[in-house]
């Protein structure tokens, strides 16, 4: 389903769309290439899938390329991911060699496009070395980091930093993630697309049918966490929180909904840990969903009373934004990008432990009016801050700055 820019006006108002059109005028015909490591699964793919068509609609020739590798490559990059989020991970030289040679091979495949581009946006560490293979580049290169790098495992960051320093700029989601780098750093928070299958309003009968299909009882209270099966998302902590909360809310149900990203080799092991923690409890629904199950996730979020995202590290947490857009209070881990979105007693609660999460579930369950009020606040907060139109505006502004920043000719923005 391809949505045109004008269709967002009914949510944001016409002025927002007019501003995007004005901003894009000096970028018409420019070539922009995004590179990341997967087309499905995870927040980056979710965003690019919507952002790239809109940039094209604005006349910016935008493509989205994906770096491919084999199992050792993903083992290495998952190691980077874990180390950048603070785990002590020693990555053997053999894997680093695979990482570098995989980058070289992929760069060769994409070289004509990358050499010619006016702007290249490289997402996360997986394709970061591309720049080192492109000495005669024409365009500006930006490294876009989506993960929580506030306290990285230093040896791994030191290694990766060598690939990042040569970029013209980098983008982080939060100020606390910024690093000592010899180029400008920009803050851009991610966003959701309110008109996507994941977020669009659904007919009640579809929500009922989805719950029925997954044996969820709509007459009982429901809490949900949607996430890849990744330890940083703390699905086991969610199961513990549920088990504690159920002592006070006996008919409570839990849904853990997730799937695999093609670049995540640890998912299966984490899923097995979740099955073990859930045991044969019929009130816990552990769902393994295909990567295109956007409407199912939408329906599950809408069917929930409360949404959890009990991460212990989180770059941003689009699942939080998605739930808030649907008017749900979120109980989120007190970390990274979740802190940008969830504000205690306003639109949800930040928690540090399963016990804390259980206490907040209980509080909301017994204070239904407050729960409803928080849900309204959550929706409004996303409307004002985290929609794709704001995201697009910030990308356009950055691109105008990168391409025209040093020129004396005036750029008409309004």
From candidates 8, 73, 99, 316, binder to ligand UDP by CB under 6 A = 316
Residue 42: CB minimum distance to ligand UDP, A: 4
d(CA 44, CA 64) in angstroms, rounded, equals: 11
From candidates 89, 165, 200, 289, binder to ligand UDP by CB under 6 A = 289
From candidates 118, 124, 305, 322, binder to ligand UDP by CB under 6 A = 322
Q: Please choose, from the candidates 294, 384, 360, the residue with its C-alpha nearest in 3D space to the C-alpha of residue 45.
A: 294
Residue 335: CB minimum distance to ligand UDP, A: 12
Angstrom CA distances, 30 to 85, 328, 372, 410, stand at 35, 40, 46, 18
Nearer to ligand UDP, 65 or 148 (CB): 148
d(CA 76, CA 63) in angstroms, rounded, equals: 26
Per-residue binding string, ligand UDP, 65-94, x by CB under 6 A, is: ------------------------------
Q: How many CA atoms lie within 13 A of 311 on its CB side?
A: 26
54 CB-near residues (< 8 Å, 6+ apart): 5, 388, 392
Show contacts with ligand UDP in window 174-203 (CB under 6 A).
Answer: 198
Residue 193: CB minimum distance to ligand UDP, A: 10
Nearer to ligand UDP, 253 or 321 (CB): 321
141 CB-near residues (< 8 Å, 6+ apart): 119, 120, 122, 131, 134, 166, 167, 168
Q: Please choose, from the candidates 390, 314, 41, 50, the residue with its C-alpha nearest in 3D space to the C-alpha of residue 200.
A: 50
Residue that the structure tokens 């493509």 belong to: 63
Judged by CB under 6 A, does residue 326 bind ligand UDP? no
Q: Please choose, from the candidates 221, 239, 378, 213, the residue with its C-alpha nearest in 3D space to the C-alpha of residue 299.
A: 213
Nearer to ligand UDP, 258 or 356 (CB): 258
83 CB-near residues (< 8 Å, 6+ apart): 89, 91, 152, 153, 155, 156, 157
Residue 289: CB minimum distance to ligand UDP, A: 5
Residue 322: CB minimum distance to ligand UDP, A: 6
Judged by CB under 6 A, does residue 329 bind ligand UDP? no
Contacts 24+ apart (CB under 8 A), 287-292: 287/214, 287/255, 287/256, 287/257, 287/258, 288/258, 288/259, 289/257, 289/258, 289/259, 290/259, 291/40, 291/41, 291/259, 291/260, 291/261, 292/40
Nearer to ligand UDP, 118 or 264 (CB): 264
Judged by CB under 6 A, does residue 318 bind ligand UDP? yes
258: β partners = 288
From candidates 34, 46, 58, 386, binder to ligand UDP by CB under 6 A = 46
Nearer to ligand UDP, 46 or 266 (CB): 46
Q: Buried (b) or exposed (e) across 88-112, using 16+ Cβ within 10 A?
A: ebebeeebeebbeebbeebbeebee
Main-chain phi, psi angles of 253, to 5 degrees: -120, 155
Show contacts with ligand UDP in window 239-268 (CB under 6 A).
Answer: 257-259
Judged by CB under 6 A, does residue 43 bind ligand UDP? yes
Nearer to ligand UDP, 43 or 327 (CB): 43
Nearer to ligand UDP, 160 or 255 (CB): 255
Q: Please choose, from the candidates 102, 172, 170, the residue with its C-alpha nearest in 3D space to the C-alpha of residue 133.
A: 102
Nearer to ligand UDP, 226 or 303 (CB): 226
Nearer to ligand UDP, 48 or 249 (CB): 48
Residue 401: CB minimum distance to ligand UDP, A: 26
Judged by CB under 6 A, does residue 145 bind ligand UDP? no
Judged by CB under 6 A, does residue 42 bind ligand UDP? yes
Span from 41-49, 62-70, 131-139, 234-242 in contact with ligand UDP (CB under 6 A): 41-49
From candidates 20, 131, 226, 241, binder to ligand UDP by CB under 6 A = 226
DSSP 245-285: HTTTSTT-EEEEEE---TT-TTHHHHHHHHHHHHTT-TTEE
Show contacts with ligand UDP in window 20-39 (CB under 6 A).
Answer: none
Residue 298: CB minimum distance to ligand UDP, A: 9
Using CB atoms, what's the residue nearest to ligand UDP?
43
Residues that bind ligand UDP (CB under 6 A): 42-43, 46, 198, 226-228, 257-259, 289, 297, 316-319, 322
């Amino acid at each position: 389903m391809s949505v045109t820019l004008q269709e967002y006006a009914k949510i944001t108002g016409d002025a927002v769309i007019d501003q995007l059109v004005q901003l894009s005028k000096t970028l018409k015909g420019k070539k922009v290439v995004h590179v990341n490591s997967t087309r499905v699964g995870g927040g980056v793919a979710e965003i690019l899938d919507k952002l790239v068509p809109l940039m094209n609609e604005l006349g910016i020739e935008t493509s989205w390329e994906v770096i491919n590798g084999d199992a050792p490559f993903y083992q290495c990059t998952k190691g980077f991911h874990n180390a950048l989020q603070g785990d002590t991970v020693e990555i053997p030289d053999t894997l680093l060699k695979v990482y570098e040679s995989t980058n070289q091979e992929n760069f060769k495949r994409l070289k004509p496009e990358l050499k010619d581009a006016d702007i290249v946006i490289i997402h996360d560490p997986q394709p970061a070395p591309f720049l080192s293979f492109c000495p005669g580049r024409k365009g500006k290169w930006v490294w876009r980091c989506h993960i929580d790098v506030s306290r990285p495992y230093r040896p791994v960051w030191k290694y990766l930093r060598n690939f990042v320093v040569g970029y013209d700029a980098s983008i982080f989601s939060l100020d606390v993630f910024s690093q000592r780098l010899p180029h400008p750093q920009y803050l851009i928070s991610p966003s959701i697309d309110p008109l996507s299958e994941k977020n669009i309003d659904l007919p009640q009968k579809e929500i009922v049918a989805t719950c029925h299909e997954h044996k969820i009882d709509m007459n009982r209270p429901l809490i949900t966490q949607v996430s890849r099966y990744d330890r940083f998302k703390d699905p086991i902590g969610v199961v513990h929180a549920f088990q504690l909360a159920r002592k006070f809310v006996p008919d409570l149900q839990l849904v853990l909904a997730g799937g695999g990203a093609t670049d995540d080799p640890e998912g299966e092991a984490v899923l097995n840990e979740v099955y073990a923690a859930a045991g044969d409890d019929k009130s816990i629904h552990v769902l393994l969903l295909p990567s295109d199950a956007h409407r199912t996730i939408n329906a599950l979020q809408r069917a929930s009373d409360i949404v959890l995202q009990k991460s212990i590290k989180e770059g941003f947490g689009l699942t939080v934004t998605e739930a808030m857009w649907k008017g749900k209070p979120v109980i989120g881990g007190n970390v990274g990008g979740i802190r940008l979105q969830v504000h205690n007693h306003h639109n949800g609660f930040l928690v540090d432990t399963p016990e804390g999460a259980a206490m907040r579930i209980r509080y909301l369950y017994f204070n239904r009016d407050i729960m409803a009020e928080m849900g309204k606040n959550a929706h409004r907060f996303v409307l004002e801050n985290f929609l794709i139109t704001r995201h697009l505006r910030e990308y356009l502004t950055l691109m105008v700055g990168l391409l025209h920043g040093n020129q004396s000719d005036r750029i008409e923005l309004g």
